[in-house]
Amino acid sequence: MMLTSHPYFILMKPHTLEIINAIWDFRKHTGSKLCFTLDAGANVHLLYPQLEKEKVLQFVEARLAQFCQKKQYICDYVGLGAKKT
């Protein structure tokens, strides 16, 4: 879709690569299990074990929040699944 659109476009932005490189650097220097995935746009989603929550949130505040609009980001977690009501 990006290639065939006229004019063409790309959803990944320069800061997306800065964030990815910061994550790789964090993993290398801390031994963290922090991983990431990208949605259909330029948004980086972090995945990490619950045990690393505090360390990762400190990293987000120190290195990544600057790339977020108004330094705001969403913290989410895996739920327990659907329940019949």
pLDDT digits (tens, 9 = 90+) for 8-60: 777 888 899 999 999 999 999 999 999 999 987 778 999 999 999 999 999 99
pLDDT at 20: 95
Quick check: pTM over 0.85?
A: no
Burial of residue 41, with CB atoms counted within 10 A of its CB: 0-12 exposed, 13-18 middle, 19 or more buried: exposed
Gap between the Cα atoms of 60 and 53, Å rounded:
10
* List of domains in the chain: 14-71 (3.30.70.890)
